[in-house]
Structure 1
Amino acid sequence: MAGESRTELLAWVNDLLQLNLTKVEQCGAGGVYCQIVDSIFGDVPMARVKMGAKQEWEYLDNFKVLQAVFKKHQIDKPILVDRLIRCKMQDNLEFLQWLKRFWEMNFPGGEYDPVGRRGGAGARAPSAASARPPVASTSTARRPPPAAARSAPTARAPLGTSRASSASARSSSAAGAHVDAAALEALTAQMNEMKLGVEGLEKERDFYFNKLREIEIIIGARLELADAPAEEGGGTVTEEEKDTLLQMQQILYSTEEGFEVPEEGQEGELVNEEEETF
């Protein structure tokens, strides 16, 4: 099953943790991953997590916290720290997709206060839309909150329609650009990989062609000597050797069904056509 797109994942993370991430690569600092897991278990030592990490050593500290939590809860998922801290899109996209699926299977439901849990670090800039109590993620609709939370007069209702609509509008407006960029990036990588493969095949082809060409020259020289008169050195090639050389020559010049040997001069024309094409 294909995972969520970058746009969908960013919308989910920003909604769940009340952040303003614009790129999946920003998750490579490790703090976001730590707090997503904290929203499930509620026991991640967020005081040790550096949500505003800027240096690689800070990223490593965050991932040490994450690894400790994985070990504590016996989560059998390798964390490729050395790749994630490079903040490359593909590595962090794959890990975030897995973490989203893990969250959907294990999130207990109810309220989660992301800003309070991280002590206000990395919070959204205050605005009329965001200045409100902690919200329950829209992704928890399949897990209804406890009855007490529903009946309590001070409990906040599920995320409002206006916010969901605005998030949907932002996602739809940016979706085309993200999809096009991702498709272009994938096609470029595929093209570069194919180009390298073709170059390797051409080198291998030339290597074996040169060897076969040398063998052909040796066979031709020995056959010419076999047919030469005695005063020109003939007679040094035995009949048995001559038969063997002819068999080898036959193998070199043999063709398969569907393959045609270019006529003399035609090969040069083909090369010229290829040069003109490119």
Structure 2
Amino acid sequence: MGESRSDLLAWLNDLLQISYTKVEQCGTGAAYCQILDSIYLDVPMARVKMNAKHEYEFIANFKVMQNVFKAKRIDKPIPVDKLVKCKMQDNLEFLQWIKRFWDSNYGGHAYDAVARRRGQATDTPATIAPLAPTRGAGGAGLSAGAGRSGGKTPVSGHRSGSSAAMQHEQVLNLQAQLKEVSSHLEGLEKERDFYFAKLRDIEILVQQQLEALESAGSDDETLREIQKILYSTEDGFEVPEAGALPVDEEETF
């Protein structure tokens, strides 16, 4: 049996100097990242968004965590797709595992959590709320009004004005989030193109060297291995047939 939710939250809040009230809040990935930092003291906390509130921010935090797992050779799958949904059971099980991992690997050294995250705010909401107020609250008010007016719902006046204002605010919030997501995606695309260009340069250089060696009747096993890595694919991936993709999309890694 793992530790209880209350015990885990008490430990987590004391270690990281935060004030989480629910295990679900760990679904942002921020706390998991800093738990690892308390062990290794080298997690790039500047890249961890402690007050993340959107799923794409949670995923970015888990990407940092996955890099740490890879660098430290931690053989434990991270169910990111489940954890970012901020469900209690999934995060409770993972928090229990990471607490056991911490118990086995923490060296007992002093750890200044606030300094390590450079004073980042940690005002994660107590529950992961929807982006805008649900219809439930407004619907209750309308029902009460309908009862007092013989079952007729007002179609004009102050209540309609409030509804319009709320819808306008929802639209503005969604537009702001869309802009933020678009900016994030643009950054990822630039990063992808940057590394693709580097791989392409390496591919060309290796090919030129191999051709030169072949002309001289020689070979280089290291260059062959590099070329093999460049052209390798993941399991289940099939290289498209010629003509299946536009010319500028045929060469991918």
Shorter-chain TM range is 0.3 to 0.5
Structure number with larger C-alpha Rg: 1
Higher relative contact order (CA 8 A, sep 6+): 2
For normalisation by structure 2, the TM-score amounts to 0.48
